[in-house]
């Protein structure tokens, strides 16, 4: 059963300016494994993290770096479901997260669906 849905859009030019002006944003917003990615990919991941917060109805317990996104063997993106994020999902009864990200025409967009157990 779907218990949460979140969508977010990021303006690529604005995101690139923010990261250029404040290089420490990479450290504050992204897990170590994400930081070397191109800015377009980082913008899509940032949109996915914002979409996750919306799908969860808030997540004051999490830091941005706790919401790590990796690509599976087929290239499909997904959140790493251990650590603080995994604990929060377990506490809220969420069994799975589904994420889709894209970037084109000056924007990055992401959608996250949270699915409950049972």
1 in Cβ contact with 95 (< 8 Å): no
- In angstroms, rounded to a whole number, what is the distance separating the alpha carbons of residues 15 and 3? 30
The label of the residue with tokens 């808030």 reads 58
Kindly state the percentage of the chain with pLDDT values over 90. Answer: 90
How many structural domains compose the chain? Answer: 1
The label of the residue with tokens 């830091």 reads 63
What does the pLDDT look like over 40-92, one tens digit per residue? 999 999 999 999 999 999 888 899 999 999 998 898 999 999 899 999 999 99
> Has residue 118 got a pLDDT over 80?
no
Give me the domain span that covers residue 70. 2-116
CATH number of 55's domain: 3.90.470.20
> Has residue 23 got a pLDDT over 90?
no
At residue 60, the pLDDT reads 84
23 in Cβ contact with 46 (< 8 Å): no
């Amino acid at each position: 059963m779907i218990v949460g849905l979140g969508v977010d859009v990021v303006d690529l030019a604005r995101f690139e300016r923010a990261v250029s002006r404040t290089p420490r944003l990479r450290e504050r917003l992204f897990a170590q494994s994400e930081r070397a990615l191109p800015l377009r990919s980082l913008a899509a991941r940032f949109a996915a993290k914002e979409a996750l917060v919306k799908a969860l109805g808030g997540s004051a317990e999490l830091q941005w770096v706790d919401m790590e996104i990796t690509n599976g063997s087929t290239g499909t993106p997904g959140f790493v479901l251990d650590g603080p994020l995994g604990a929060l999902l377990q506490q809220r009864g969420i069994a799975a997260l589904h994420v889709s990200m894209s970037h084109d025409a000056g924007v990055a967009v992401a959608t996250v669906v949270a699915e409950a157990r049972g």
